[in-house]
Chains A and B, each alone.
Chain A
Amino acid sequence: MSRTHVTCTVNGDEVDFLAADDTSLLDALREELGLTGAKEGCGTGDCGACSILLDGRLNCSCLVFAPEAEGRDIVTVEGLADGDHLHPLQQAFLEGAALQCGVCTPGFLVAAKALLDENPDPTETEIRYGLAGNLCRCTGYDKIVRAVQEAAVQLNGAGK
């Protein structure tokens, strides 16, 4: 099958790849660009494990066709850390044990970043609604919510 050449920005770097038109952006990220942080859970937009930012907006990359990425700005979980310095969300998830098996974690981190970018000081209810598109089968969510609250405190304290 013919493949389309796609050029886009991923985590700040201009990249290009070839993908069949019916490839999902998730598969292109994982298989063409080697960015395996985003996971396929359901493949139908229900679980949020494949969450990415597309032009700053939270999206399920399983619902996006790879050619749609042309010219767009994409952030995946790999783009959260600053070199070896973890993002405050990642640090809070780590310290708060907000993960068990870890499959949903990249999606939660990206969704939490989208939430805090929009609302730097969310209430617990706002966090729970903001993360309602991400499913976790292990943690019971409480530790995830607390980690996001902790990260918000860190981010706000740092004057960001």
Chain B
Amino acid sequence: MKYAAPTTVDDARSLLADNPGSRVFAGATDLVPQFRGGRPSPPLLVDLKHIDRLMSLTHEDGQWTVGAALPTSQLTGNAGFTAAFPGLAEAAGLIGSDQIQNRSSLGGNLANASPAADSVPALLVNGAQAVVATADGTRTVPARDIATGPGQTSLAEGEFIIEFTLADPPAGTGEAYLRMIPRSEMDIAIVGAAVRLTVDGAAVTDARVVLGAVAPTAVSVPDAEAALTGAALTDGGLDDATLAAIADAASTVCNPIDDKRGTIAYRRQVAGVLAKRAAAIAAERARNGA
């Protein structure tokens, strides 16, 4: 296995075209364990961290641009970013240890396509767009279209994510991510729930709910979004009927696996609880930010 560290997107594209079967990487926090587990190693590893565009974080004209290979510690350490996207920052800050967060990236978390990827539900509720390097240019697709199943993506051979764009959340928007793990730290989610709400006065005007770790990919919960849209928001937060509807909708949309970390029944129940709690936090943040 050879290593290459291109400094431009064009050079990376050429290396990938000239070396079929190559893999791109940023932190290799998922790649190294895969190789250790016996996954065949590619002929060439293309390190994306020397391409400035993939390592930058900018905020211009109402839009954040996050380099796909930027270590997540640099996102969670950016006060402006964490203020704009508290749920996404929370999710990124839950992935592994400090050691891991100095390597892990949003691009890697999405392209690795683990159903349990913590940052993905939070990326999706924010409507992130992925700018993808293709064989001869770039294409921009919703981040939700990247992962298609466990370990599977819509990226063609030789394609890689350059960056994500996230529009500034509208005024009165709050966002939260919660996950359940069997231990208190350093574990993989058995359920993740991201909620983003926008409020105007005393009512919710926009709602997005995405669950992780309970289906082959992160899943939206349209029935919960419908229950939230138009819901009244008072000093007491969302009313009990709305919260119950969110929980029911989240539990229903789940299509989880049974494994050593959690049973299907447990994951379904916890998905409802976390969706409800994340919605309550998002509502509180939306009111404070309104």
Q: Which residues of A contact B (CB under 8 A)?
A: 4, 21-22, 24, 43-46, 48, 51, 54, 57-60, 62-65, 67-68, 70, 111, 114-115, 129-130, 132-134
User: Is B257 part of the binding interface, using a Cβ–Cβ cutoff of 8 Å?
Assistant: no
- How many Å from the CB of A144 to the closest CB on chain B? 15
Interface centre among A60, A62, A115, A130 (most CB of B within 10 A): A60
List residues of chain A with CB within 8 A of the CB of B99: 45, 48, 51, 58-60, 63, 111, 133
Q: Top 3 closest A-B pairs, CB basis?
A: A133-B97, A21-B3, A44-B33
Give the distance in Å from the alpha carbon of A22 to the alpha carbon of B28 in the complex: 12
Q: Which residues of B contact A (CB under 8 A)?
A: 1-3, 5, 27-29, 32-33, 36, 41, 45, 47, 49, 71, 73, 96-100, 102-103, 185-186
Is A45's CB under 8 angstroms from B45's CB? no
A-B contact pairs, 26 of them (CB 8 A): A22-B1, A22-B41, A24-B32, A43-B32, A45-B33, A45-B96, A45-B99, A45-B100, A46-B186, A51-B99, A57-B102, A58-B98, A58-B99, A59-B102, A60-B99, A65-B47, A68-B5, A68-B47, A111-B99, A115-B98, A130-B98, A132-B97, A132-B185, A133-B99, A133-B186, A134-B97
Is A63's CB under 8 angstroms from B185's CB? no
Residue on B nearest A129 in the bound complex, by CB: B185
List residues of chain B with CB within 8 A of the CB of A68: 3, 5, 47, 49
Is B3's CB under 8 angstroms from A57's CB? no
- How many Å from the CB of A113 to the closest CB on chain B? 12
Is B98's CB under 8 angstroms from A111's CB? yes
With beta carbons under 8 angstroms apart, the residue of B29, B36, B186 that contacts A132 is B186
Given contacts A130-B98, A132-B186, contact A63 B27 (CB under 8 A): yes
Give the distance in Å from the alpha carbon of A54 to the alpha carbon of B100 in the complex: 13
Interface centre among B73, B97, B99 (most CB of A within 10 A): B99
List residues of chain B with CB within 8 A of the CB of A58: 98-99, 102
With beta carbons under 8 angstroms apart, the residue of B47, B49, B96 that contacts A133 is B96
Is A21's CB under 8 angstroms from B2's CB? yes
Residue on A nearest B25 in the bound complex, by CB: A65
Give the distance in Å from the alpha carbon of A148 to the alpha carbon of B216 in the complex: 42
Is A67's CB under 8 angstroms from B3's CB? yes
Give the distance in Å from the alpha carbon of A64 to the alpha carbon of B99 in the complex: 11
Given contacts A44-B33, A48-B99, contact A63 B3 (CB under 8 A): no
Residue on B nearest A68 in the bound complex, by CB: B47
Is B28's CB under 8 angstroms from A63's CB? yes
List residues of chain A with CB within 8 A of the CB of B27: 63
Residue on B nearest A51 in the bound complex, by CB: B99
List residues of chain B with CB within 8 A of the CB of A45: 29, 32-33, 96, 99-100, 103
Residue on A nearest B1 in the bound complex, by CB: A22
- How many Å from the CB of A128 to the closest CB on chain B? 9
Residue on A nearest B31 in the bound complex, by CB: A63
Give the distance in Å from the alpha carbon of A54 to the alpha carbon of B98 in the complex: 13
Residue on A nearest B2 in the bound complex, by CB: A21
Is A63's CB under 8 angstroms from B103's CB? yes
Is B29's CB under 8 angstroms from A63's CB? yes
List residues of chain B with CB within 8 A of the CB of A132: 97-98, 185-186
Give the distance in Å from the alpha carbon of A135 to the alpha carbon of B151 in the complex: 28
With beta carbons under 8 angstroms apart, the residue of B49, B98, B186 that contacts A114 is B98
Is A43's CB under 8 angstroms from B36's CB? yes
Residue on A nearest B184 in the bound complex, by CB: A132
Interface centre among B3, B5, B186 (most CB of A within 10 A): B3
With beta carbons under 8 angstroms apart, the residue of B32, B45, B96, B98 that contacts A21 is B45
Give the distance in Å from the alpha carbon of A22 to the alpha carbon of B73 in the complex: 25
List residues of chain A with CB within 8 A of the CB of B41: 22
Is A133's CB under 8 angstroms from B98's CB? yes
- How many Å from the CB of A100 to the closest CB on chain B? 21
List residues of chain B with CB within 8 A of the CB of A134: 97
